[in-house]
Amino acid sequence: MFKYLFIIFLGISSSVYADVWFYEDQNGVMHFAQEKKGSKWRLLMRTPKSLNPPKAKSTQQKAPNQRPYHQLIVASARRHKLDPALVHAVIATESNYRADVVSRAGAMGLMQLMPATAERFSVTDPFMPEQNIEAGTRYLRWLLNEFESLQLALAAYNSGENTVKRYGFAIPPYKETQNYVTKVIERYKKNLSLVQ
C-alpha cells in the first residue's frame, strides 16, 4: 500500500541547495540524485557553489507540529490514512497556510480546492479550514488509491486526474506540474527530518 513512498528516499539531497538530477523510468516514476548516474539522467536544478541558502519563511522552519492548523491536519490525515507530514507539505506548497487565498484558476483555501472538487466532497465553505483540510485529505487519499504512486497522485492533485490519465498514467509534461511534484516531495522529506 505504501510502495510509492520508496522514491522519496532514493538519492534526494537532505538539503534542497544542491544540484538535483532526475531520471524518469519506463513506468513514469521519477528518480532523483545529487549527481548524474547515467546517460538518461537530466539536470533538474543547479545551485552555484557560492550560493548561500536563502532564509526560509518562518512557517517552513518550524516542525510540522508547530505550524498552523496542525491538529486539524493530524485528525484528517489519520482519518484518511495519510502521513500528516505529507499533508503539511501539500498545504505549504498550495497556499503557504493561507486559508483565504484564491488562485487565478479559482482554487480556494488551504489545500486549493477547485470548485468541482469542493462540490464532489460536499464542501459548503472552502475557506473554513476544517472543511478544506478534510476535503483535501480525502481527495489526496482517493488519488493515492487511484494511481498507487505518490508522484502521480501529486501530479493529479496539481493538474487534474484526467490529465494524468491522458498522458498514460505519467506525470504530464508541464513544467508547473513537474516542479510541483518535486517541491511537495522535498517539503515532505524535510518535514519527516524535522519530526525525527
Q: What are the residue ranges spanned by the domains of the chain?
A: 56-195
- List the end-to-end C-alpha distance of the chain, in Å, as a whole number: 23
Match 462540490 to its residue by C-alpha cell: 119
pTM for this prediction: 0.68
Q: Is the pLDDT of residue 193 over 50?
A: yes
| 23-50 average pLDDT score | 65
Residue 45 pairs with which residues in a beta bridge? 20
- At the second CATH level, the architecture of 56-195 is Orthogonal Bundle (1.10)
- State the pLDDT at residue 17: 42
Q: Which residues are catalytic?
A: 94
| 35-53 average pLDDT score | 61
- State the pLDDT at residue 129: 96
Sheet with 30-33, strands from edge to edge, namely 30-33, 20-24, 42-45
| 167-176 average pLDDT score | 96
Q: Is the pLDDT of residue 21 over 70?
A: no
| 130-139 average pLDDT score | 98
Measure the CA–CA gap between 152 and 149, rounded to whole angstroms: 5
Chain centroid to CA 9: 15
C-alpha cell at 130: 476544517
Q: Is the pLDDT of residue 92 over 90?
A: yes
> What is the band of 141 on the pLDDT scale with cuts at 50, 70, 90?
very high
Match 539522467 to its residue by C-alpha cell: 41
- Nearest one of 129, 69, 77 to 99, comparing CA atoms: 129
> What is the band of 12 on the pLDDT scale with cuts at 50, 70, 90?
very low
**Packing angle of the helix pair 84-94, 70-79 (nearest 10 deg):** 120
Measure the CA–CA gap between 142 and 82, rounded to whole angstroms: 11
Higher per-residue confidence, 8 vs 171: 171
- State the pLDDT at residue 14: 35
Give SS3 for 10: coil
- State the pLDDT at residue 58: 47
In the chain, pLDDT over 90 holds for what percent of residues? 61
